[in-house]
A and B are shown apart, each in its own frame.
Chain A
Amino acid sequence: MVDRKEIEHLGDLVKVDLSEPEKYIKQVEQILNYFDNLDKVEFHSDDTLRTQVTSDGLRDDVHKPYGDSLIEHLKKDQNNFIRAPKMV
């Protein structure tokens, strides 16, 4: 059972202010009920798909200076700083 408290908790986890949390209650519950069909599956194996990537594909650890183009379109002030809200 999904209630308003649960939706607000999830909104908090994904850092989204939900202006109308009740809008999501029924839909999320309906979808989760559908996901519950996974309980009916009879598994003959506990395996999950894994892909192995070899580490020799890594690039050389060399410094590549970045150009101005990399920061050209960022939201920044006249001193080229990005303004963040205060942390505490």
Chain B
Amino acid sequence: MNLGISAVEFVSQAKDGTISVEEFVAKTLDRIKKVDEKIHAFITVDTQNALDKAKEIDKKIKSKDKVGSCFGMPVSIKDNICTAGIKTTCASKMLENFVAPYDATVTSRLKSEDAIIIGKVNLDEFAMGSTTEFSYFGPTRNPWNPEYVPGGSSGGSGASVAALECLASLGSDTGGSVRSPASFCSVVGLKPTYGLISRYGLVSYANSIEQVGPIAKTVEDVAFLLNIVSGHDPHDNTTANTGHVDYVKDLKSGISGKKIGIISQMIGDGIDKEVASATNAAISQLQNLGAECIPISLDAVEHSVAAYYTIAAAEASSNLARYDNLRYGFDFSTEGYEFKAFVSKARSNFGPEVTRRMLLGAFVLSAGYYGKYYLKAQKVRTMIKAQLDEAFKKVDYLVSPTMPILPFKVGEKVDDPLKLYLTDINTVTANLSGIPAISVPFSMSSSGLPIGIQLFANSFKEKELLQAAHALQETTTLPEITL
């Protein structure tokens, strides 16, 4: 039995009885046992429940009962997305024992289509980070070389898919957190348009920019998952009523005659040589597929990282004010404490990156600095959106490398937060403006580390974006993981 098949192939084989769901899930659990010691993608593995559910689905298939479209596909979920009955820790001591009383909308939609939630995967604490090193439970490692970071913050999602520990995963993307691990782990990751997927049950970090996003081996799998998890949700007023869109249908339409803008600010100085040459190769492939590629300048991109971290920190400091360790959290008696002293003591258990962002958030929002930082960041955001609106009058898509650099070693940048922030230069634009962006695995560096290419489209143009991403992925032949 091959665990390396795509999610869509799994569905077709489970449907016609070629594979038994129970066997596949059991083998996936064995795989997790074998490789997760090295990778540490999982925080929780829901072994018994996964096996029980698999048996139940096999029975339904045999007796020709109605089965949901996932046919028992094992998926992992980032541990900041609520799952009733299993812990949702956000990789933080502050929530180490938290069990959500309800499922996030994305979780319940997957369950209702008979996906099996095989476990919860690692992230930077509260999704704040780009490497998954800031997890309270320890870092996740890159399945292509465990000495290297898997990207982040959805590092557990990217690594679990790449290491064949599940067929697909849901992550969340606030500043590149789905696309960065997709790029570093050689899988596909989509940050959808703001409002396409419900955030109900996603633990809030920066509400105005974050979105849940699917990660899988192929663009087709991502389209398949998007069909299930996207759409209006009465529990999330920011979801759009887009009507029914089938993202899988017409996926193979190609991009002949389309126009693609190459973002000048994302392929210039500071970019790794091998990443630059992979990007040029990808552009040639897009041209071979019949697209016309032209340079596009978006000068507001130069200010995007400063604007992004100002806004994200501001929203984080306000969102994280709710964690007081009273209703849930870790064991720590209130005896002998005055209220504020207790809360401040408990909250000293946040990790260094979360603390840093809360301090920065409080600073940029404080009287006297609000106009200097926060308001200007909001204006940069408007400027980026305006420049993108102009760009999309001329082109259908934009292209850039997903990450400006190759994956780096665990521990290499962990003490230099600004250096880490700057690696988000190519991804934050999509979050600030709300537009969709996808990372497609494109090539491998000479040292065997993955390089991903990023494509952007205008808001709610996911269908077209997935068509281009599929066409690009079809041009590649990448090695299989040897882990």
Contacts and interface: CB of A to CB of B under 8 A. Distances in A.
Contact of A75 (B101, B328, B372, B383): B328
How extensive is the interface on chain A, given as a class?
A: 35 or more
Contact of B359 (A24, A39, A51, A71): A24
Interface of B: 84, 97-99, 101, 234, 237-238, 300, 303, 305-307, 309-310, 317, 320-321, 326-329, 334, 337-345, 347-348, 350, 352, 355-356, 358-364, 366, 372-373, 375-383, 385-386, 417-418, 421
A30 B381 CA distance: 22
Contacts of B376: 38-39, 41, 43
A1 interface: no
Contacts of A10: 359, 362-363
Contacts of A69: 84, 101
Given A19-B348, A48-B379, A83-B334, A73 B101 contact: yes
The 9 nearest A-B residue pairs measured at CB? A48-B378, A73-B99, A85-B342, A85-B334, A17-B348, A85-B337, A38-B376, A14-B358, A13-B362
User: Mostly helix, strand, loop or mixed at chain B's interface?
Assistant: helix
Contacts of B360: 28, 31-32
B347 A46 contact: no
Most A-side CB within 10 Å, residue of B350, B359, B375: B359
B130 to A, nearest CB: 14
A68 to B, nearest CB: 9
Given A17-B348, A35-B364, 10 more contacts: A14-B317, A15-B347, A16-B344, A16-B358, A17-B345, A18-B348, A19-B348, A28-B360, A53-B238, A86-B339
Nearest to A68: B101
A7 B418 contact: no
Nearest to A58: B237
A57 interface: yes
A84 B363 CA distance: 29
B348 A49 contact: no
A62 interface: no
B380 A73 contact: no
Nearest to A23: B352
A14 B381 CA distance: 26
Contact of A59 (B234, B344, B362): B234
A84 B339 contact: yes
A37 B327 contact: no
Nearest to B417: A27
A11 B237 CA distance: 33
